[in-house]
Amino acid sequence: MSIAPRKQHDRLSLSTAFASTRAETEQRCQTLAIEDYQLQSMPDCSPPKWHLAHSTWFFETFVLAPHVPGFRPFHERFGYLFNSYYDAIGDRWPRVQRGLLSRPTVAEVYDYRRAVDEQILALIDTVDEPALQLIASVIELGWNHEQQHQELLVTDVKHAFGMNPLRPIYSLDAGNPQGDDAPMQWQSFPAGLRKLGRAGGGFAFDNEGPPHDVYLRDFQIATRPVSHGEYLNFIEDGGYERPVFWLSDGWAAVRNDCWVAPLYWERGKEGWSIFTLQGMKPIAAHEPVCHISFYEADAYARWAGARLPTEFEWETAGISGRTFSRGDVWVWTASPYTAYPGFRPAAGAVGEYNGKFMCNQMVLRGGSLATPAGHTRPTYRNFFPPDARWQFSGLQLAKDGAA
């Protein structure tokens, strides 16, 4: 799964990283009522309880099952219930019905986590050294996988809360995008052949590599993402009413789904407000626009006389350190999600991790306030279908030519 060159794992740092990731996931559930754990507000979202159980199932299936002698699963049906999409592992409970499982209860799922945690930590402590190196890379993949679910857990709860007329508050302490008051500026990058993709130096997902050469023309990229204030100009200029700005599929989405603004925007008597993790609040002009689809990002860019950056342009800029990269919002790129030249997925079920989704999705780069720290790196490739809006997704402009 990982494309990093093998490094030596020591038991203590392995245990610590594992345990702290597991704790962080549960920390993100601290403000939830039992009832909230079961919410699935649309097929693309999963209930918090499912995220808790699925990330546990991953460790149970890929670490404990092959490495613990006489392994017995915690519950014989959990494999069926909490497999997400690993076809090689067998049948699974339909994704759209994840919210219909009141049992196992939340308490039982936490028991499941405890039981697997203990076994993993015991395994790390007791396994012999050669086997340790063998399982360490899967455990490392497992916590990186769980970290991805940490972000989804937050976006999925936000979506479910956002449709409840009571507009529940996730947490008053949840962060907010800070945004940037400074005017947007352009950074120029000269044409040339660039070596992009992850070459080593710590964990990375397989889809971040292999490193490869890409020829880029002269381009410029904005120093920061587009802000609420700028996006409002697009709306007020008829952005959602004029097909000329839109891709054909995007315009169909606007019409069929009655989009008139980003997700979570509500128009009231005193103007727009937005639903956030801290409840409703008035719109702040300098914050980055968020919860827009690729189609909206693309339409805005066309309206603005610019375009979206390719993922290669964004990575070039990201590496340079000359543009915004704080992790307020992911930004949609112009790049469909495909394999890098020479990409080969890992053997076995773990190989289903990334490769089989390389169709019908667009790459996002950057990271958001809900992204675990280590995942905000220049080579990280996030990907979602072009109509997805419930992620913390914004945009950053680019254009052709030298300054």
* Single-letter code of the amino acid located at 61: T
Write down the least CB distance from residue 86 to a copy of itself, Å: 9
Using CB under 8 A as the binding rule, whether residue 338 contacts a copy of itself is answered as yes
State yes or no: residue 172 binds a copy of itself (CB under 8 A).
Answer: no
Q: Rule CB under 8 A: say whether 279 interacts with a copy of itself.
A: no
Shortest distance, position 106 Cβ to a copy of itself, whole Å: 7
Q: In what order do the strands lie in the sheet with 362-365?
A: 382-384, 362-365, 330-336, 393-394
Q: Is 285 an interacting residue with respect to a copy of itself (CB under 8 A)? A: no
In contact, 60 and 74? CB cutoff 8 Å: yes
- Of 62-70, 103-111, 117-125, 265-273, which segment contacts a copy of itself by CB under 8 A? 103-111
Is residue 196 part of the contact set for a copy of itself (CB under 8 A)?
no
d(CA 20, CA 18): 6
Q: How far is the CB of 77 from a copy of itself (least distance, A)?
A: 5
Q: Does residue 316 belong to the site contacting a copy of itself (CB under 8 A)? A: no
CB of 239: closest distance to a copy of itself in angstroms? 14
C-alpha distance from residue 373 to each of 24, 260, 287, 326 (Å)? 11, 33, 21, 11
| Residue among 40 and 316 whose Cβ is closer to a copy of itself | 40
When asked if residue 30 is in the footprint of a copy of itself (CB under 8 A), the reply is: no
Residue 157: closest CA among 145, 143, 176, 171: 171
118 vs 400 by CB, closer to a copy of itself: 400
Angle, CA 25 vertex, CA 153 and CA 129 arms, to 5°: 130
* 142 contacts: CB under 8 Å, gap ≥ 6: 18, 55, 58, 59, 62, 63
Alpha-carbon span 339 to 211, nearest angstrom: 11
CA distance 105 to 245: 48
**CA dihedral angle for residue 385, residue 389, residue 395, residue 400, rounded to 10 degrees:** 40
Site membership for a copy of itself, residue 88 (CB under 8 A): yes
Residue 357 contacts a copy of itself per CB under 8 A: yes
Residues that bind a copy of itself (CB under 8 A): 33-41, 77, 80-81, 85, 87-88, 93, 97, 99-106, 160, 163-166, 168, 193, 212-215, 217, 243-244, 246-251, 294-295, 298, 334-336, 338-339, 341-342, 356-360, 386, 400
